[in-house]
Structures are given as structure tokens and as C-alpha cells.
Amino acid sequence: MDRSPEGLDDEPLVVPPAAAHGARSTSDAHATRREARHGDGARHPGGTEDGDLVEASADRRHAAPRTRSSGPMAFLRETAIILICALALSWVVKTFFVQAFFIPSPSMHDTLIEHDRILVNKLAPGPFELHRGDIVVFKDPGGWLQGETEQTPSRSRSIVNDVLTFVGLYPQDAGQHLVKRVIGTAGDHVACAGPGKPVTVNGVALDEPYLAPGSEPSEQKFDITVPANSIWVMGDNRQHSWDSRFHQGNPGGGSVPISNVVGVAFVTVWPIERAGLLHNPAKTFEDVPAPTATN
């Protein structure tokens, strides 16, 4: 009867008696020669094949500790590796994703106050877009910092800043950055008629709940259409903010080039009692229409 290859695999392997006898004879002969060389296997466990394996395993167990690193040098080496990896990770995060800044002036009261530490999302602008209402950190376009009142940090705060700078969580050029709120984006018509009047964007008056207590929308009159690739920014503490309104004679009419924007602030991390998310006040701008050619 024909059998499939699978059937042959299932058949038990039968050893002919003669072959089995020959195999046993050969095995006995090998065993006799081993005993002759090593003596009685009972007295010398190493004289058997199992004994050889036991001896080899014992040798490996005795040799293993000699390959392990231990002592102060090993600890220092592992610590150095951890520190280098931590610094490299910090540099990557700071360069491409998140960066820490502190608030040096009262221009954003009471949303942000002096010495608050904030984290900035560096993916906007970039993969993510800027929106009206975002709190942005940007590099001074030129001459803006002259009107800002910056407080000199205490010695202890300076030490903290130096440490954060060293590990990459604080910018080397922190003194060249400002933080403001985006009121208008490219193409928006932003205006205010002066004291007692609201700020308008594309003709819609804004209700601004984030303004500092006692602040009015603007004591400065302005009327501008935001240029392409730019934003119009204002501080929440309007009467103490040297913002876009005071730079209308600059190129761009006071608007900030998007290329100067570092990112969008999304959380306050220090001091602990002020820690929390920084939300975009979307309701303030929800009725503002998209800019048009006539705006």
C-alpha cells in the first residue's frame, strides 16, 4: 500500500536486532575504554559524560563572577552614562518639543505674574498653527524690551536659572524674549477707538475676561490689518504692557513675524501654588469671522 510522506513520519523507528546488538557492543566498548582511561566512574564522577558536563558547569559558575564589574568605578561609569543620556534627552526635548521660560515683568497680570515658570510647546508654529487667544513667547523683533520693566532675580533664583540653563531647560538668551497674547493673526483687521472702547477683530468687539482687574482694553488708539506671516499681540495687563500698540512705527506696523515666535505657553509649572494649564479663551474669539479682502 502506498503511504504518504506524512504517514512515514508517523511510523515508529524499528532497529533490527543485529544492529541493536552491534550498537550495544560498540557502546560497551566505548564505555570500557573510558573506564580504562579514567578509572571507576563511581569514584570519579568526571569520568562519565554527565560528569564532564557537571565539571564544565561548575567551571562556568566559578568563572562568571570574574567577568562582572563591581566597585566604585562601575558605579561611576553607570552614573556617567545615566547623566549623559539625561542631558541628551533634555537637549532633544528643549530643541524640538518643549522649553521652559520665566516671567520677568507684570505685562501679563494676572494670567502670569513675575517669576512664574512656564512651559512652551515648540510645535506651534510648525506642525500646529497659532490661534487667536494663544499665549506666545517670541524673540524681540527689535526695541520691544526697552519698554518692559524687568525685575532682577534674587541670588537663589539666579542659581536655579543657571542650573536650568545648564541642563537645557532654560534658554541662554531668556532676556531677549517676551510673552504676550495673540489678538490677531495674518489678515485680521484689529482696531480700538481708544479709552473706554473695546478691541475689535474683523469688526467684532471682544469680551476679554483675561484682562487684569482694573485694566481697560486699550487707552491707545490703533487700527491695523495684520500683515502676512505675522501676529498682533497684546499683554493682559494692558496699561503695563509694551506690546504691538506701541510699535506701530516699526516695520509691520507693530506686528510680530511668526518666524520670531518660539512657541505657545501651555502650562505654569512653578511656583507650585500657581501650577496649572494655560487655556485658550476660545469663546472670546468664537464669533470673529475669517479675514476677508475688504477687512
* DSSP symbol at 222: E
- C-alpha 240/C-alpha 106 separation (Å) is 7
Query: If phi over 0 gives left and psi between -120 and 50 gives alpha, with beta otherwise, what is residue 71?
Result: left
The SS3 assignment for 261 reads: strand
The catalytic position among 107, 230, 244, 255 is 107
Q: Does residue 197 carry a catalytic annotation? A: no
Task: Assess contact for 218 and 269: CB atoms under 8 A.
Answer: no
Distance of CA 111 to the CA centre of its chain: 24
User: Which position among 105, 122, 180, 215 bears the catalytic label?
Assistant: 180
Residues 6+ apart with CB under 8 A from 199: 183, 190, 191, 192, 205, 206, 208, 217, 218, 234
Cell of 106: 507684570
Cβ within 8 Å of residue 198, ≥6 positions away: 192, 205, 206, 207, 208, 217
- 233, 226 Cβ separation under 8 angstroms: no
Place of cell 582511561: 37
Please indicate whether residue 244 is annotated as part of the active site: no
The set of cell numbers assigned to 134 is 494663544
- Name the β-bridge partners of 222: 192
Residues taking part in catalysis: 107, 180
